[in-house]
Structure 1
């Protein structure tokens, strides 16, 4: 994780990361200018993004944006059609204010498991740690509950629906392939994995929709 001027708020129960209430309370107690980036910064991810996003005018959706600088950093790098969503109203309001001088950037309160977009609306969908929040659970990581499987399935199914044919889903996580691949596999794409880091590994999953 990479933090910048952020409160180090770690809940006693990791399943709190799955709840809207936790994030609302956290963002309400943070200064509106606070930033926090899970896992990797844009500069670290840029070489991988450049391989998958060839057009700076691509229509991009960032899932669970929080107060990460990812969207802003991509904007500074020339991307101009970015939609950021989060189900915390507080953080969306804060980000709208913080990024008021970035025409082409949109901030919407929305649940990633119920996207309010038309089919095949986006060229690129990015998840940087958001699925990991859903997967926070006290159960057996090798045998996740049906409820947990269904929650993640809702997210991935929605990504498939809103992606254009030829579009890519880019997912950044510390989740190892034997825990994550099962949730990502679909008939419409192949799951490709790039490992980042040395002592502690992060994983970049890329999936291009073929049909």
Structure 2
């Protein structure tokens, strides 16, 4: 692993550029095989998909192999976008990779996408020292702008709550949580005499709503 600064934040561009320098591939929270049953009900071969904070995950390639090839993946780390483009160019034609901050998707047209997916990208953004909630609000606003009416945002998270899940918040965030699936990642047990609690991750299916 590359040497990282003594203090860093998962919402830092420098952190991710440094990490992607040597890390070949990493799947946050769950592989495509786990996410697939939660995502496929919203997909057809013509669905325009936005993959937020793609990193070096195999998700866009897995979607392509599954027949879903209209995938645009964005990340603010130029080195990982360049690498993903190089991997896709001959083997996965048609996939798009763009250098973009999730808080500023100005390069993308309004109302283009029907499905959005992120695997812990929102978690990383919410890690901001003082302004995590404001950054999340900006992301939600930008994603709402580039999506069609009634679009779906499938978000995988460590967190068992989301701010825009709460009643009355939809008008602020532009998204309302419809369902939450609980993924049992690790069973409870005892290791070296110490109790290890079970570990869960969560799949949020959020629906775009009209902001007043």
Q: TM-score range by the shorter chain?
A: 0.7 to 0.9
Measured after TM superposition, the shift of residue 208 of structure 1 is 2.1
User: In structure 1, which of residues 51, 69, 90 is the aligned counterpart of residue 58 of structure 2?
Assistant: 69
CA RMSD of aligned residues (A): 2.3
Measured after TM superposition, the shift of residue 12 of structure 1 is 5.2
In structure 2, the CA distance between the partners of 1:11 and 1:205, relative to structure 1 (3 Å rule), is farther
2:40 maps to what in 1?
Answer: 50
Q: Which runs of 5+ in 2 are unaligned?
A: 188-197
1:209 maps to what in 2?
Answer: 208
TM-score for the superposition, normalised by structure 2: 0.82
Mapped pair 1:84 → 2:73:
yes
SS at 2:199 equivalent: coil
Mapped pair 1:186 → 2:170:
yes
State which structure, 1 or 2, has the greater radius of gyration over its C-alpha atoms: 2
Q: Which string of whole-angstrom CA distances, capped at 9 and with x for unpartnered residues, describes residues 80-115 of structure 1?
A: 100010000000001111111212200100000000
Mapped pair 1:153 → 2:137:
yes
In structure 2, the CA distance between the partners of 1:28 and 1:130, relative to structure 1 (3 Å rule), is same
1:40 maps to what in 2?
Answer: 30
Measured after TM superposition, the shift of residue 167 of structure 1 is 1.5
Mapped pair 1:18 → 2:11:
yes
2:195 maps to what in 1?
Answer: none
2:151 maps to what in 1?
Answer: 167
Measured after TM superposition, the shift of residue 26 of structure 1 is 1.5
Measured after TM superposition, the shift of residue 120 of structure 1 is 0.8
Rounded Cα–Cα distance in structure 1 between residues aligned with 2:59 and 2:152: 17
Q: Which runs of 5+ in 1 are unaligned?
A: 1-6, 139-144
Q: Which string of whole-angstrom CA distances, capped at 9 and with x for unpartnered residues, describes residues 54-95 of structure 1?
A: x12200010000000011111111111000100000000011
Rounded Cα–Cα distance in structure 2 between residues aligned with 1:178 and 1:26: 27
Mapped pair 1:128 → 2:119:
yes
SS at 1:168 equivalent: strand
Rounded Cα–Cα distance in structure 1 between residues aligned with 2:75 and 2:169: 24
Rounded Cα–Cα distance in structure 2 between residues aligned with 1:113 and 1:97: 25
Aligned residues: 192
In structure 2, the CA distance between the partners of 1:38 and 1:11, relative to structure 1 (3 Å rule), is farther
Rounded Cα–Cα distance in structure 2 between residues aligned with 1:130 and 1:17: 9
